[in-house]
């Protein structure tokens, strides 16, 4: 049975928000895509890739393992600009106070006087550093509302999540009370700070999923010599996903489980949603190995590619990088090191985009929609965000 539209009337109905109505009808939300002769949807949105976003400041915490990261992004449409005070718009008149003119030249986004961490991709937001990666998916249906800013919500949750983590890492501790990750508490603090930042005169509406992976370690012993192994703290709320791929064996070591209220309505943090990190986020601890690739992905990937396709794509990309493909390396290419993660992320985005823009392709989203009795065909056109992180042993300073 096809669900009726009242859940889309965001201002008049409390509760979680369905992403868009495009998931149950061939017509895509916001604009109807144009088709080329070859059957592909015509898109002009640029793709972006890189090695890292805003890194964590040097906290003095020395870990035996670290991430080498890369990310790649594809936005289905240009993101809505952040409103003031998060972004200062250009002065519109010579009568504006002169003190605003210098602010209008800075296109970066700020909150509480601090540069907002991460990178925006449509309504998605991603973060990549040596010890933490994150991919949040803002619910795009909020773009229909005058004060809807899902992209801001996804970015602020990410920003405050990293800030809470950093504050805990920097706390003074006695030798018998070492630092230990408290991931759900960090996300809860981020949620509360985002509500505060978007309330009152700012009044920005939105919701977002949240998924992140923090790299830590598990101490161990081998005879008289101490040893450690990498340990991943995966926190998830909603239907973005963290996956661990082991290219050496072309296997999937782990993937987080999506959380739904109902089909195409994931758990989400924000306006009208009953979900909170404390009550609904799931924390998994995952033992990984050096050479494993950790992925943080929004549903633009997993709605268009099956898990085995992701594993095959990542494994093949690492193999090609080791063989000399994919661009200039900054050192040895083993396991995808020294630049390979950007190549891995970009190849995965390319594969997901190929299905997303094909109206005749088979996709996981189409399969799930049909199981729900909904009319659907082809891939799901959506923001596609991938952060890829290679687990490596840290080198002594």
- Tokens encoding 386: 């991938």
The phi and psi torsions of 59 (rounded to 5 degrees) equal -95, -5
Residue 27 has a pLDDT of 28
- Tokens encoding 30: 């916001």
Dmax (CA) for the chain in angstroms is 75
Instruction: Dump strand ranges (E) for the chain.
Output: 34-35, 41-42, 47-50, 65-74, 110-111, 114-115, 119-121, 124-128, 132-137, 207-208, 210-222, 225-237, 241-246, 251-255, 260-262, 265-266, 269-270, 282-287, 293-297, 384-393
d(CA 296, CA 276): 20
- Can you spell out the DSSP letters for 90-104? PP-STTS-GGGHHHH
What are the pLDDT tens digits along the chain (397 aa)? 332 323 433 433 345 655 543 333 332 222 223 233 334 444 445 566 665 555 544 455 789 999 999 999 999 988 888 988 898 554 444 444 544 444 445 568 899 889 999 999 999 999 999 999 999 999 989 988 889 999 999 999 999 999 999 999 999 989 889 999 999 999 999 999 999 999 988 889 999 999 999 999 998 754 333 589 999 999 999 999 999 999 999 999 999 999 999 999 999 999 999 999 999 999 999 999 999 999 999 999 999 999 999 999 999 999 999 999 999 999 999 999 999 999 999 999 999 999 999 999 999 999 999 999 998 889 999 999 999 999 999 987 6
pTM: predicted TM-score of the whole model, two decimal places: 0.84
Q: Strand pairing partners for 385?
A: 73
d(CA 123, CA 143): 9
Indicate the Cα dihedral angle 302, 379, 30, 200, nearest 10°: -10
């Amino acid at each position: 049975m096809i669900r009726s539209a009242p859940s889309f009337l965001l201002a008049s109905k409390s509760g979680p928000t369905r992403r868009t109505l495009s998931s149950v009808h061939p017509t895509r939300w916001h604009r109807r895509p144009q088709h080329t002769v070859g059957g592909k949807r015509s898109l002009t949105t640029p793709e972006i890739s890189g090695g890292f976003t805003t890194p964590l400041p040097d906290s003095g915490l020395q870990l035996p393992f670290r991430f080498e990261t890369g990310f790649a992004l594809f936005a289905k449409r240009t993101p809505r600009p952040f409103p003031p005070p998060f972004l200062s718009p250009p002065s519109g008149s010579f009568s504006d106070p002169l003190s605003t003119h210098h602010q209008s030249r800075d296109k970066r986004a700020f909150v509480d006087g601090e540069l907002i961490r991460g990178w925006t991709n449509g309504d998605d937001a991603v973060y990549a550093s040596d010890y933490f990666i994150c991919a949040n998916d803002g619910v795009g249906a909020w773009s229909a509302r005058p004060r809807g800013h899902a992209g801001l919500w996804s970015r602020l949750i990410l920003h405050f999540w990293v800030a809470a983590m950093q504050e805990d890492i920097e706390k003074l501790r006695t030798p018998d009370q070492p630092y230990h990750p408290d991931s759900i508490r960090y996300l809860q603090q981020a949620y509360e700070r985002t509500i505060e930042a978007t309330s009152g005169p700012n009044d920005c509406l939105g919701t977002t999923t949240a998924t992140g992976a923090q790299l830590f370690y598990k101490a161990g012993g081998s005879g008289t010599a101490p040893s450690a192994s990498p340990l991943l703290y995966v926190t998830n709320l909603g239907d973005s996903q963290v996956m661990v791929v082991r290219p050496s064996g072309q296997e999937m070591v782990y993937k987080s489980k999506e959380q739904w209220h109902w089909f195409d309505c994931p758990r989400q943090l924000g306006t009208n949603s009953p979900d909170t990190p404390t009550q609904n986020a799931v924390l998994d601890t995952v033992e990984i190995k050096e050479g494993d690739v950790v992925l943080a992905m929004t549903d633009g990937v997993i709605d268009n590619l099956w898990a085995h396709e992701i594993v095959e794509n990542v494994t093949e990309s690492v193999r090609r990088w080791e063989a000399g493909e994919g661009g200039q390396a900054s050192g040895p290419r083993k396991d995808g090191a020294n630049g390979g993660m950007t190549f891995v992320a970009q190849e995965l985005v390319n594969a997901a985009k190929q299905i997303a823009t094909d109206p005749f392709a088979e996709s996981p989203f189409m399969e799930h929609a049909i199981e729900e009795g909904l009319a659907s065909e082809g891939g799901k056109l959506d923001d596609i965000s991938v952060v890829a992180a290679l687990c490596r042993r840290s080198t002594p300073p």
